[in-house]
């Protein structure tokens, strides 16, 4: 038993309250990436990443990557059999990188496996990651202070006028209450639900592997990407063995993360919208963006689910091959289907909002008119609701423009083509006088 595992067991069983603190730490490490992913999703679907908040998006994405690095480094520190199996998988991935794989493995592990990996990861987990988290959160707080809060449309709210919530006492009380609820929930979980019972796994052994081992949920998509590659993908080239079974998942996951980071800049380039935005979008009013977001979630979910393909097969009494084939189809076809369905649903919801905006909402009251016919009374839509249902703002894809020499570059042609796809089937906004005052909607 290594000193790392000895100290973990001492904290769990000999230090008063040590097991509670250790399990609370682990549950918090699982909750942090979930909270950051949820905030990224909300920021994306509401368009809160547009100027002047593009830097805040990059900082939030950096927080997620830092949290993943912190969780993974802490996952390996107890030096139990489960973490040792995970480190062996990491070593295999690093060794599969052509040319530099052996050198990178020696650098990471400090020699042959297991080397000095615990000593190398310890300062990352207890010093580098906390400092990075504090710096990134401070930078986001400054960005929020400088740019102000983004907000949904409402009375008195415009792109030039921000109507926020006072920091004291409103925002401070909300933040304090949320902190108390989250802390209480984490401590309740730590006191009642066992997590990472290293005393059951036993000490790590380089020659052994833990059967049925699963990574923490936030790295499951990385494991799933490896499981979905067909076996036997190896190529002999230039006197070296190239392994697409390792390189392709790394490339796909790397491009996926890169696409998330640069999307605000890509959307601004495609749409040609360089103005500052302080009003948030309803997801249904931006069907293309919402479709892309749902497609990304389906892609991530398929990779994440594939990380437990063996458990899915055993619990549902299916063959592993069929489960893997299903996830392979989901990774390739799922995002396209999700994009098309989401965009059509968003357009349908827009049309429903437009109907309510113009004619009021259904009350269920049927009246008989003087002429003998029956009609349903529609209720009034108040001013706040009219702002919410107003629909998308006017926007059109910019046409391709030649440069100063009169040449139409391929990049400009591609941008114009993407803009047409982005804005197709978009509802045109109503004019200022099309809705009228509330009394035009009839009396309920």
Please list the rounded mean pLDDT of every run of 10 residues in the chain (444 residues): 92 94 95 96 95 94 95 90 87 84 88 86 94 96 89 82 83 93 96 92 82 81 89 77 83 94 94 88 92 96 91 90 94 96 94 86 87 86 80 69 76 85 78 47 41
Q: With beta carbons less than 8 A apart as the criterion, state whether 114 and 87 touch.
A: yes
Question: Which is nearest to 165 in space by CA: 157, 60, 179?
Answer: 157
**Structure tokens belonging to residue 357:** 């905006």
Q: Report phi then psi at 133, rounded to 5.
A: -60, -45
CA distances to 48, 183, 386 from 151, rounded to whole Å, are 9, 28, 16
DSSP state for residue 151 in the 8-state scheme: B
Query: Concatenated DSSP letters for 382-419?
Result: -HHHHHHHS-PPP--PPPP---TTS---HHHHHHHHHH
Contact residues for 197 (Cβ-Cβ < 8 A; gap 6+): none
pLDDT tens profile 240-294: 777 788 888 989 999 999 999 999 999 999 988 888 898 899 999 999 999 999 9
% helix, strand, coil for the chain, step of 5: 65, 5, 30
Res 322: pLDDT: 93
Alpha carbons 290 and 281: distance in angstroms, whole number: 10
Q: What is the pLDDT of residues 339-398, one digit of tens each?
A: 999 999 999 999 888 888 888 888 888 999 898 898 888 888 887 788 888 777 766 666
Number of separate helices (H) and strands (E) present in the chain: 16, 4
pLDDT value for 115: 82
Token digits for 216? 């923490």
Q: What's the pLDDT at 174?
A: 93
Q: Model's pTM, two decimal places?
A: 0.89
Report the alpha-carbon angle 148-154-159, nearest 5: 45
Give which of 48, 89, 442 is closest to 278, Cα–Cα: 48
User: In which residue are the tokens 């769990």 written?
Assistant: 12
Other Cβ atoms within 10 Å of 297 Cβ, number: 18
Closest C-alpha among 2, 27, 20 to residue 122? 2
Give the 3-state DSSP-derived string for 330-392, with helices as H, strands as E and coil as C.
HHHHHHHHHHHHHHHHHHHHHHHHHHHHHHCEEEEEEEECCCCCEEEEEECCCHHHHHHHCCC
């Amino acid at each position: 038993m290594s000193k790392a595992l000895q100290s973990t067991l001492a904290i769990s069983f000999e230090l008063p309250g040590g097991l509670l603190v250790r399990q609370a730490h682990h549950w918090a490490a699982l909750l942090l990436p979930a909270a950051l992913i949820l905030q990224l999703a909300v920021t994306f679907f509401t368009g809160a990443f547009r100027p002047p908040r593009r830097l805040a998006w990059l900082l939030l994405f950096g927080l997620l990557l830092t949290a993943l690095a912190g969780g993974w480094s802490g996952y390996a520190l107890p030096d139990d059999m489960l973490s040792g199996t995970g480190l062996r998988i990491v070593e295999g991935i690093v060794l599969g990188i052509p040319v530099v794989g052996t050198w990178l493995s020696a650098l990471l592990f400090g020699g042959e496996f297991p080397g000095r990996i615990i000593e190398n990861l310890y300062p990352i987990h207890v010093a580098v990651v906390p400092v990075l988290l504090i710096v990134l959160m401070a930078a986001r707080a400054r960005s929020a202070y400088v740019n102000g809060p983004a907000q949904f449309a409402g009375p008195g709210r415009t792109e030039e006028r921000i109507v926020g919530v006072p920091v004291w006492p409103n925002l401070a009380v909300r933040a304090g209450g949320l902190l108390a609820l989250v802390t209480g929930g984490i401590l309740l979980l730590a006191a009642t639900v066992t997590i990472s019972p290293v005393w059951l796994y036993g000490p790590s052994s380089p020659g052994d592997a833990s059967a049925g081992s699963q990574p923490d949920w936030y790295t499951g998509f990385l494991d799933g990407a490896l499981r979905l590659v067909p076996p036997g993908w190896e190529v002999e080239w230039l006197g070296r063995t190239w392994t697409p079974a390792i390189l392709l998942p790394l490339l796909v996951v790397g491009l996926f993360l890169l696409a998330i980071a640069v999307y605000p800049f890509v959307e601004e380039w495609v749409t040609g919208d360089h103005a500052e935005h302080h009003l948030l979008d309803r997801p249904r009013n931006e069907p293309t963006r919402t479709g892309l977001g749902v497609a990304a979630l389906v892609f991530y979910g398929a990779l994440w689910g594939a990380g437990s393909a063996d458990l899915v097969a055993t619990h549902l009494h299916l063959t592993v091959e069929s489960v893997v084939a299903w996830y392979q189809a989901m990774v390739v076809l799922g995002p396209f289907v999700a994009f098309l369905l989401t965009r059509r649903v968003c357009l349908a919801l827009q049309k429903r909002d437009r109907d309510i905006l113009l004619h009021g909402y259904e009350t269920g009251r049927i009246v008989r008119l003087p002429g003998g016919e029956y009609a349903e009374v529609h209720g009034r839509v108040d001013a706040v609701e009219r702002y919410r249902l107003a629909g998308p703002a006017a926007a059109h894809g910019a046409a391709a423009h030649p440069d100063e020499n009169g040449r139409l570059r391929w990049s400009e042609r591609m941008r114009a083509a993407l803009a047409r796809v982005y804005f197709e089937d978009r509802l045109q906004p109503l004019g200022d006088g099309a809705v009228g005052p509330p009394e035009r909607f009839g009396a309920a």
